A and B are shown apart, each in its own frame.
Chain A
Amino acid sequence: MGYSWDFQTVWEYRQVFVRGAIITTQLTFWATIIGTGLGLLLGLMRRSENAALRYPAAVYIESFRATPILVQLVWIYYSMPILTGLQLGNITSCAIGLGLHCSAYIAEIFRAGVNSIDKGQWDAARAIGMGYSQMLRRIILPQAIRRMIPPFINEFATLIKLTTLGSVLAVNELLHEAENLINNTYRPLEIYTAVAVAFAIMIYPFIYASQRLERHWKVRS
């Protein structure tokens, strides 16, 4: 009750938040690139008639979905160098770990999206002589992606928030920077509140854009 809020301190250290947000954005960017590329590949592999493609994809997807991301990150940063001699930097490890993790979810989004397209669309594309990749690119994905946007944005918002796990690898993302700041200023309530607001500011535009896009497509077709 008697707590007096002091956001002045937060404002004085705003540069720290900006610095953290830049790292958070970088992590999100690279993890999205890795996650989307690999996710598309895995999603298509999992739909393949060829068992040699289908099974490895299924094992990958289910393993990553069934284990904690924290363990995955620790594994990549601490265990991989021991096993393979390959030591990646903490930011790189974190970006790759997050990318691998969300590729499993994005694979499922792709698979569900592609499966939701009517079989007649494949028939029609085949009947005019299209090859597999052409059908996918010109006919199936343009339709499927519209249905994938809402779950994809959902996954993307989750990913942005998951970057806070970078603090475990001492990555100076937003949360880690904020925690350092708390140690100096003893203002945890204000600083955590500011962190929450910073995340909301980063995430909300995507949610808004996704809703606008859905409405736009509903009108067009």
Chain B
Amino acid sequence: MSDAVLKIRNLQKSFGEHRVLKGIDLDISKGEVLVIIGPSGSGKSTLLRCLNFLEEYDHGEVLFHGQLVGYRKASHNRIIRDSAKAIASVRKRMGMVFQSFNLFPHMTVLENVVEGPVHVRRISRSDAERDARALLDRVGLGSKINEFPSKLSGGQQQRAGIARALAMNPEVMLFDEPTSALDPELVGEVLDVMKSLAADGMTMIVVTHEMGFARDVADRVVVMDDGSIVEIGSPADIFSNPAQARTAEFLRRVLH
């Protein structure tokens, strides 16, 4: 797998006594759509947050294009926390979309989207605004660019969140339960945007409870339970012919 964008090796993480990730191994290739499903508290979101180091992991490795994320080797093979600058430079190459949107409420939709390009990537405001308008058109918010987030519906806010992440020109997009906070009738508009991104070849890692999305869009589905990967397979295998009893049990509960 020479084209692996992310490699995860024996990733472990505890919150106090509670082991949230118990040794995760996973590769994500360029252009792949990987969907992570599993019961609440199984460690899906924590795994995702370790990838851009919003969450510090305790053991194992996350490699982004072969480069260790969050830590570096010091003398005598000691592993120490990487500099804030190095961590930030990895983060700006990954886009992240949050369950609760986390738009900046003191900025308009357009300002939200140009914030990263102007102040982190340091491109000119006029270029950033031109790109932002195109992105906002693409997610169907062309008419809302000067609104504040509080004036938007949840679905609109999440689409703005996706545009904000895309504006950084990320190599991979991380979606942390992007539709879980939405009213049911607003889920579709967000999933449609994600589908069109997938169709364009974006590398995506999606933590979700939307089984329909997993079945239709995923290249591979990862089933997690209790901090471990239960099984990985194509959507057809996972949904029609799961190898593990725990997968079958989980699907039986969520699909009925």
**Contact-size category for A:** 20 to 34
Tell me whether A2 is interfacial, beta carbon within 8 Å: no
Partner of B105, one of A125, A130, A221: A221
Q: A123-B54, A127-B54, A129-B88 are in contact. Are A143 and B105 (CB under 8 A)?
A: yes
Question: CB distance A142 to B106 under 8 Å?
Answer: yes
Question: CB distance A129 to B84 under 8 Å?
Answer: no
Partner of A127, one of B52, B84, B101: B52
CB-contacts of A67-115 with B (<8 A): none
Partner-contacting stretch, out of B27-35, B91-99, B239-247: B91-99
Residue among B104, B165, B168 facing the most chain A CB atoms (10 A cut-off): B104
Question: CB distance A129 to B89 under 8 Å?
Answer: yes
Tell me whether B40 is interfacial, beta carbon within 8 Å: no
Partner of A139, one of B95, B104, B148, B168: B104
* Bitwise interface map of B from 102 to 136 toward A, beta carbon under 8 Å scored 1, else 0: 11111000000001100110000000000000000
CB of B208, distance to nearest CB on chain A (Å): 18
Tell me whether A126 is interfacial, beta carbon within 8 Å: yes
Q: Give how many A-B residue pairs fall within 8 Å (CB-CB).
A: 69
Partner of B116, one of A129, A131, A143, A220: A129
For B106, list chain A residues within 8 Å (CB). 142-143, 146, 221
CB-contacts of A33-59 with B (<8 A): none
Partner of B98, one of A124, A132, A134, A143: A124
Residue among A125, A134, A142 facing the most chain B CB atoms (10 A cut-off): A125
Tell me whether A128 is interfacial, beta carbon within 8 Å: yes
Question: CB distance A120 to B98 under 8 Å?
Answer: yes
Q: How far is the CA of A118 from the CA of B104 in the complex (A)?
A: 10
Q: How far is the CA of A143 from the CA of B105 in the complex (A)?
A: 8
For A124, list chain B residues within 8 Å (CB). 96, 98, 102-104, 164
Question: CB distance A128 to B148 under 8 Å?
Answer: no
Tell me whether A212 is interfacial, beta carbon within 8 Å: no
Q: A120-B98, A123-B98 are in contact. Are A128 and B105 (CB under 8 A)?
A: no
For B102, list chain A residues within 8 Å (CB). 118, 120-121, 123-124
Q: A120-B98, A123-B54 are in contact. Are A128 and B104 (CB under 8 A)?
A: no
For B91, list chain A residues within 8 Å (CB). 126-129
Tell me whether B100 is interfacial, beta carbon within 8 Å: yes
CB of B105, distance to nearest CB on chain A (Å): 5
Residue among B84, B96, B105 facing the most chain A CB atoms (10 A cut-off): B105
Tell me whether A138 is interfacial, beta carbon within 8 Å: yes
CB within 8 Å of B: which residues of A? 118, 120-121, 123-132, 134, 138-139, 142-143, 146, 220-221
Q: Can you sample 9 A-B contacts with CB below 8 Å? A: A124-B98, A125-B104, A126-B54, A127-B91, A128-B164, A129-B92, A130-B119, A131-B84, A221-B149
In the A-B complex, the 8 residue pairs with the closest CB atoms: A129-B92, A128-B116, A124-B102, A120-B102, A127-B96, A129-B91, A129-B88, A129-B120
